[in-house]
A and B are shown apart, each in its own frame.
Chain A
Amino acid sequence: MVTVEDGRIVAADNACTLGEQKFLGEPRLKGPIQREGKGWKDITYDEAILRTVEMLRDAERPLLFGWSGTHVEAQCIGVHMAEVLRGVIDNTSSVCHGPSILAIQEVGHPGCTLGQVKNRADLVVYWGCNPIEAHPRHLSRYTRYAEGFFLPNDYLDRTVIVADIRKTETGNIADEFVQVTPGGDYAVLSALRAIVRGKRDIIPRSVAGVPREQLFRIADRCLNAKFIAFYFGLGLTMSRGKYKNVRNAIELVSELNRHTKATISAMRGHYNVYGSNEVNTWMTGYPFGIDFARGIAFYNPGETTAIDVLARRECDACLVVASDPAAHFPRACVEHLADIPTVVIDPYPNATTAFADIQIPVAVTGIDAAGTAYRMDGVPIRMRRVLKTDYPSDEEILGRMYAMLQEDHPP
């Protein structure tokens, strides 16, 4: 429940720390701004849109990055824009759960919705993620503390295993904490697969810092569970082994499905990063890092992903939508971002603002703009707006840009 007073949100009930900050919001930009010397000057939305379109028109290899913090309707327009511009479109999953997608492309995704997990999962595994910090309501809404249809005694009926390189806050409330040596996830997952396969005798005394007895105990807990929900985070996707770690985890889940029911899902970050992957996939066939330079969609992670395009100093203009690459990209990429014309479409000033030439503030989906977003389990949810403001939505701004670009390339 959200309380609105004098056109401002003053309280958000049942929201975690992160959710509340989103609703209450930091100071938002009043209108579009353009860099002038060492300062900024206010410009109108019309000027901002025109200058952005001019920037994109003049570019030979524009990069359209971000998209994870906006609704799918805007993401659709983004893909159309990339096609018209023959540019590169990439979303934040290339520096986040991109490896998970690569693994899923190799071995599939035995996943399920969070509702299934809530009602059925009697064993929940969190691997390389700390939901108490990053997804604070995950345990209370869907896993450990949620009262399930088949689990009337919620946390007393469920078991939680946390695997990480250090004991996290989630580890504090877990039934079993598995401390893996950094970079050792692949080996531990392989050992668990071997145990599930019945090859207990080949397991060495310790695997990546995890004693054999604990591995046997975890495997037994898994084999004796009725429904296992396996969640993994960036601890698995961004450590040594990357997508191979995720592939191994998926294959462990696959092995477990010979004995019981098991599912695996990624702990996605931005509220609509899943939507961005969905939109890209249904429109181009690929989930992220799509290059339209050839006139058709071309996908090659490591070549057509934002980091690589920037690190090679290849792109000559960048449109950042609803994300903050300057806060997460390597220094070389951010340096190039500072050298080229960059436009940011985001409601709030962020680290990328410091490297941008223009920033266009927009309405926030779910607060003052309506739109569809995909939850981390792939369920599309229509988000209503709770406020009426004068800010245009991402869809509106991008729609106007796309219309102007279409004039150059009539269909």
Chain B
Amino acid sequence: MSESIIWYLREFLRTEWIRKFLLAKTDPLVTPPYFKDYPTLTGKECTACYQCMMICPAPGAIAVLRHDDGWRPEIYPGHCIRCGLCVEACPEDVLQSGRVLEAQHRDRTGFRATFHLSIDREICMRCGNCCISCPVGREGEPDGAVLKIEKGGVQILNSDLCTGCKTCEVNCPNRGIRVARVVEGVQEAAA
């Protein structure tokens, strides 16, 4: 009995073992180069084309905001799922995340999207939230708006100007307006 206790004490009180136990070190954590973090700004100028908002699959994750010195996309980390689609969709390379931009340039990939707006006139209250919140045509001519309340309902004036950003859909209180998006990935032929 006593022999085995001594054996154990010898075994566990070895200096080398105690040192190893207390000063153990794992390999340092290194972010791998392919890791996609929340998208960050590259510093290039945003043209407010809303492609990032159009492609984003997570509600409330990205918004293009107006600042004194121009437009900038804002990422809301609580909502963003770090899919990187906004980085890929932006035609101006305003955003970056991991190696998305690099891979996109290398492979010459992009998105081609078409949109279809539909309004349920039965439930539409004509509160105008969609028309007012729509970011298209705000600064230019009034005729440049996508939506307007006239002739007894919300009318789609310029469907070709729709960017598919879904602002109208998100801000409709009774889901009276829906934006159907058909997006396909495209790749340019190598030169």
Contact = CB atoms under 8 A, between A and B. Distances in A.
Given A16-B125, A136-B128, A155 B171 contact: yes
B152 interface: yes
Interface residues of B, number: 22
Nearest to B68: A152
Nearest to B173: A169
B150 A11 contact: yes
A136 B132 contact: no
Interface stretch (A140-148, A185-193, A262-270): A140-148
Contacts of B132: 140-141, 145-146, 154
B181 interface: no
Nearest to A12: B152
Given A152-B66, A156-B65, A170-B173, A16 B128 contact: yes
Nearest to B172: A173
Contacts, number: 76
Contacts of B178: none
B126 A132 contact: no
Contacts of A20: 126, 152
A137 B148 CA distance: 13
B63 interface: yes
Contact of A173 (B126, B151, B171): B171
Contacts of B148: 13-14
Chain A: interface residue count, which band? 20 to 34
A17 interface: yes
A268 to B, nearest CB: 18
A1 B133 CA distance: 20
B9 to A, nearest CB: 53
A281 interface: no
A145 B174 contact: no
A381 B126 CA distance: 23
Interface in A108-148: 132-133, 136-137, 139-141, 144-147
Contacts of A141: 128, 132
A156 B138 contact: no
B127 interface: yes
B131 interface: yes
A147 B138 contact: yes
Interface in A1-15: 1, 11-15
A206 interface: no
Interface in A318-358: none
Interface string B111-131: 000000000000011111101
B166 to A, nearest CB: 13
Contact of A145 (B65, B125, B126, B171): B171
A17 B131 CA distance: 15
B149 interface: yes
Given A132-B173, A145-B133, A170-B173, A17 B66 contact: no
A153 interface: yes
B151 A132 contact: no
Contacts of B127: 16, 132, 136-137, 139-140
A139 B132 CA distance: 10
A105 interface: no
B171 to A, nearest CB: 6
A324 B38 CA distance: 58
Interface string A240-276: 0000000000000000000000000000000000000
A5 B90 CA distance: 48
A12 to B, nearest CB: 8
A139 B129 contact: yes
A14 B149 contact: yes
A16 to B, nearest CB: 5
B62 to A, nearest CB: 11
Contact of B125 (A24, A133, A156): A133
Contacts of A173: 129, 171-173
Contact of A11 (B124, B138, B151, B172): B151
Interface in B83-131: 124-129, 131
A12 B153 CA distance: 10
Interface in B63-88: 63, 65-66
A137 B172 CA distance: 12
Nearest to B170: A173
14 contacts: A11-B151, A13-B148, A14-B150, A16-B149, A24-B152, A136-B125, A136-B128, A140-B133, A144-B171, A153-B65, A154-B132, A154-B133, A156-B63, A172-B173
Closest 4 CB pairs of A and B: A140-B128, A136-B127, A13-B150, A169-B173
Interface of A: 1, 11-17, 20, 24, 132-133, 136-137, 139-141, 144-147, 152-156, 169-170, 172-173
Interface of B: 63, 65-66, 124-129, 131-133, 138, 148-152, 171-174
